[in-house]
């Protein structure tokens, strides 16, 4: 299947301008960038896609041997860039999308001009010298909950990670977004995400990187933003005036402002 159709690639903005590619996070789809992309369509070519593609509604379309790690998703991203013949791309990645973008940038640095990582994490499990926010027992419990009652887990988790009680419609949207994914695929993607450890890859990033961190995030504590900044050479760290794990939904204005200020400094 053609990679652009498989991942429901959507092009927007100024088709003669430098490209920005938006990579969503776990349980999300491209529609969740809708508050961000319009702000860049005058002077950028915008590219949206779904990580879990059109033919992946069953586990047969989501082969374990390919997607056991995040590298399979990074390869999908690079295939999209190849299909569109894109170079000097600015990647904007939310959560695990930020790490997928980082792996793609390491694999083919000539295609990526800059990377923006929104509430991303290189490792979710605590280690002796690292605070990821969760114990191994915590993550195993999370995976067990997804495996045994995915929709129930979604209903319980969405309010905690959205963390904005003033907009319950966003929490419900997140629940419905989770529900779109086949539970078996959701479990495999969760394993690839929450058991990953890409700390050693950070030093291999040789491009401008902006790390965006919220003041309070149930999935990614502030220490992780600090770690990314300290271990990605030349990176910038900015703390958003926002809470929760989804600032592109719950706090689009400060998110757009931070992204715009960074994008305007990148020479492409």
> Distance from first CA to last CA of the chain, Å, rounded?
31
Q: Is the pLDDT of residue 159 over 80?
A: yes
For 236, counting Cβ atoms within 10 Å of its Cβ (0-12 exposed, 13-18 middle, 19+ buried), the class is middle
Question: What's the mean pLDDT when you consider all of the chain?
Answer: 94
pLDDT bin (cut points 50, 70, 90) of residue 1 is low
For 91, counting Cβ atoms within 10 Å of its Cβ (0-12 exposed, 13-18 middle, 19+ buried), the class is buried
Average pLDDT over residues 21-34: 96
Give the tens place of pLDDT for each residue, 189-240: 999 999 999 999 999 999 999 999 999 999 999 999 999 999 999 999 999 9
Q: Is the pLDDT of residue 56 over 90?
A: no
Residues that are catalytic: 95, 217, 245
- How many CA atoms lie less than 13 Å away from 172 in the CB half-sphere? 4
Sketch the domain layout of the chain as residue ranges. 3-123+198-263
CATH code, residues 3-123+198-263: 3.40.50.1820
Q: What was the pLDDT predicted at 60?
A: 67
Average pLDDT over residues 41-47: 97
3-class DSSP state of 188: helix
Q: Which two tokens stand for residue 261?
A: 């200020």
pLDDT bin (cut points 50, 70, 90) of residue 57 is low
Q: What was the pLDDT predicted at 163?
A: 82
Question: Do 185 and 60 meet the contact criterion of CB atoms below 8 Å apart?
Answer: no
Give the tens place of pLDDT for each residue, 108-153: 999 999 999 999 999 999 999 999 999 999 999 999 999 999 999 9
Q: What was the pLDDT predicted at 58?
A: 63
d(CA 125, CA 60) in angstroms, rounded, equals: 29
Average pLDDT over residues 19-30: 96
Average pLDDT over residues 73-88: 97
């Amino acid at each position: 299947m053609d990679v652009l159709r498989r991942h429901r690639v959507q092009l927007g903005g100024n088709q003669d301008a430098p490209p920005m590619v938006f990579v969503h996070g776990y349980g999300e789809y491209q529609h969740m960038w809708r508050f961000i992309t319009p702000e860049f369509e005058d002077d950028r070519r915008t590219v949206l896609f779904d990580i879990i593609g059109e033919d992946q509604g069953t586990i047969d379309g989501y082969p374990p041997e390919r997607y056991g790690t995040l590298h399979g998703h990074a390869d999908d991203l690079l295939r999209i860039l190849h299909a569109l013949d894109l170079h000097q791309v600015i990647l904007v990645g939310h959560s695990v999308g930020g790490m997928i973008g980082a792996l793609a940038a390491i694999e083919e640095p000539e295609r990526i001009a800059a990377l923006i990582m929104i509430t991303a994490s290189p490792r979710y499990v605590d280690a002796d010298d690292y605070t990821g926010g969760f114990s191994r027992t915590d993550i195993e419990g999370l995976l067990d909950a997804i495996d045994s009652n995915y929709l129930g887990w979604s209903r319980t988790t969405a309010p905690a990670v959205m963390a904005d009680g003033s907009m319950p419609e966003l929490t419900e949207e997140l629940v419905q977004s989770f529900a779109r994914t086949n539970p078996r695929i959701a479990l495999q993607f969760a394993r690839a995400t929450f058991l990953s450890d890409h700390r050693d890859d950070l030093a291999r990033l040789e491009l401008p990187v902006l790390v965006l961190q919220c003041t309070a995030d149930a999935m990614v504590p502030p220490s992780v933003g600090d770690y990314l900044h300290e271990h990605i050479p030349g990176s910038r760290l900015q703390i958003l005036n926002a809470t929760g794990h989804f600032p592109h939904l719950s706090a689009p204005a400060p998110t757009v402002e931070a992204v715009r200020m960074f994008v305007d400094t990148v020479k492409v």
